[in-house]
Amino acid sequence: MSVWRIARLVAAKDLRIEWHSRVLTNQVLPFAGVTMVIFAFALDSDAVLERVAPGLVWLATMFSMLVLVQRTFAVETDDGALDALRVAGVDPRAIFLGKAGGLAVQLLVLEVVLLFAAVVLFRQTVPVDGLVLLVTTLISATCGLAAVGTLYGGLAAGFRGRETLLPLLTLPAVAPVLIGATRAVEAALGTAGAVVSDGWPWVGLLLVFAVAFGVGGSLAFGPLIDE
């Protein structure tokens, strides 16, 4: 079987587990929602919230991603499934791409819900001419986030006491995504007078990031999980 086919199977398996357990809908999404609400408590000004809403969407996404990543590897390590996959001779690149794909789908759902929350809570509007930029940004940023999350999630998985390492490794690495995606979404939504054309250079950054960590991650994943 080709790497891509196995990756698709792994991703489908992850999403099926997610669909049955409903951790995303019952726990992660509410957590992300609460994060948006407590941002409002901390910032305490309608004007400020309106200005920083795109950044808050991405911050909430990243915090929730940490939970999702732990979850996606907890299902593997609980029964030694990751080791079983390795023993079965599954290419680690396929595992990486599959798990990143499954994570990416969940992140996309999360981002759409958070954007909707930003529209409702922080008075954002989604203009039609920014729609293409918005969708491209969401997809490219998600690919980068999923690659980094899967890579460091695999390292942190399976051993007690390693969970605390995940945010330390992940958050500095995804800083470029936070910067790029926030600016691009600001441009797409027209926050603080930004125009759509300002957003495209940031999409370039996000794409480079996604490719770099996609390739780097698929190469590095094998040595990292191979205990």
- Stretch 179-208 residues interacting with another protein (CB under 8 A): 179-180, 183, 198, 201-202, 205, 208
- Residue 168 engages another protein in binding (rule: CB under 8 A): yes
- Residue 176 engages another protein in binding (rule: CB under 8 A): yes
Question: How many Å apart are CA 186 and CA 54, to the nearest integer?
Answer: 6
Binding residue for another protein, selected from 30, 80, 127, 172, defined by CB under 8 A: 172
Quick one: 73 or 202, whose CB is closer to another protein?
Answer: 202
The total of other beta-carbon atoms located within 10 Å of residue 16's CB is 11
Please state, in angstroms and as integers, the Cα–Cα distance from residue 22 to each residue in 18, 26, 57, 114, following that order: 6, 6, 22, 18
- Residue 211 engages another protein in binding (rule: CB under 8 A): no
Closest separation in Å from C-beta 77 to another protein: 15
- Residue 227 engages another protein in binding (rule: CB under 8 A): yes
Question: How many Å apart are CA 218 and CA 172, to the nearest integer?
Answer: 20
The total of other beta-carbon atoms located within 10 Å of residue 34's CB is 11
- Stretch 91-150 residues interacting with another protein (CB under 8 A): none
Residue type, 91: D
Quick one: 89 or 223, whose CB is closer to another protein?
Answer: 223
Quick one: 35 or 170, whose CB is closer to another protein?
Answer: 170
End-to-end CA distance of the chain: give it in Å, rounded. Answer: 24
- Residue 173 engages another protein in binding (rule: CB under 8 A): yes
Binding residue for another protein, selected from 12, 169, 190, 207, defined by CB under 8 A: 169
Provide the binding-site residues for another protein, judged by CB under 8 A: 151, 155, 159, 162, 165, 168-169, 171-173, 175-176, 179-180, 183, 198, 201-202, 205, 208-209, 212-213, 216, 220, 223-224, 226-227
